[in-house]
Amino acid sequence: MSFRKTGLSVLLLTVCVFASDLMAQPGGGRGGRGGFGGFGGGGMLGLLQNSSVQEKLDLTDDQIDEIKELSDDMRSKMQEMMRERNFEGMREMMTEISDEAKDVLLEKQVAMLDKIQNQQRYMRGGTLRVSKEFFVDVLEMDEGDADDAMETYENLQKKFAAKVNKELQAMIKNMAKELPKEAGKKFEDMFGGEIIQIAPPQRQQGGRGGAQGGGRGGRGGRSGGNDF
């Protein structure tokens, strides 16, 4: 790989880390209304350009047009700052764009968007994924209460996983019955019986205030990258 290509790869990685760090900050945005966002297709602007999110928020055509203009503006500024390696400018610009995007929305739309962002951040693999740091840092609980909350959470997760396992086994059996005999037998042999639950890899203990998608230590590894 050429020096130029290597430098570009490092630059893009750095920008992505900045964006992820901004989106992961609890209480970010004006008035503590949620994280920042919007690099590439992700973040808050990415959500606001998703048709299902637009429908859920009941955005008007004018709001959709304004969001698109903000996204195009951010992309243009980001490219210029990448060329100048102005990383601090990127951070400030994304903060401003986030605030401007929320100003386009009604108060009830902002509240719904915050809920969607929280679900995107903390729900992966069809379940809620949080750690002790979530209870301490986000819900501002003390250490003792956070430990109790984690015990409750882990017990509920086990019960939930058992229900999912049972439903999945039933689904496999029912699917097998709907297939031609030989194909159904092969299908059930491939997937039927006990469903083996594989725990997500444990992350090493890290510093607090890490970025979304990596860099934060604590209990509960990430499957897909968004546990707190």
Give the tokens for residue 77.
Answer: 């500024």
CA-to-CA dists, residue 224 to 12, 98, 122, 196, 227, angstroms: 20, 24, 11, 18, 8
pTM of the predicted model, to two decimals?
Answer: 0.60
Average predicted confidence (pLDDT) for the chain: 75
Contacts of the segment 50-56: beta carbons below 8 A, 24+ positions apart? 53/113, 53/116, 56/112, 56/116
The full set of domain ranges for the chain reads 3-122, 125-228
Q: What is the pLDDT of residues 113-167, one digit of tens each?
A: 999 999 989 988 788 999 999 999 999 999 999 999 999 999 999 999 899 889 9
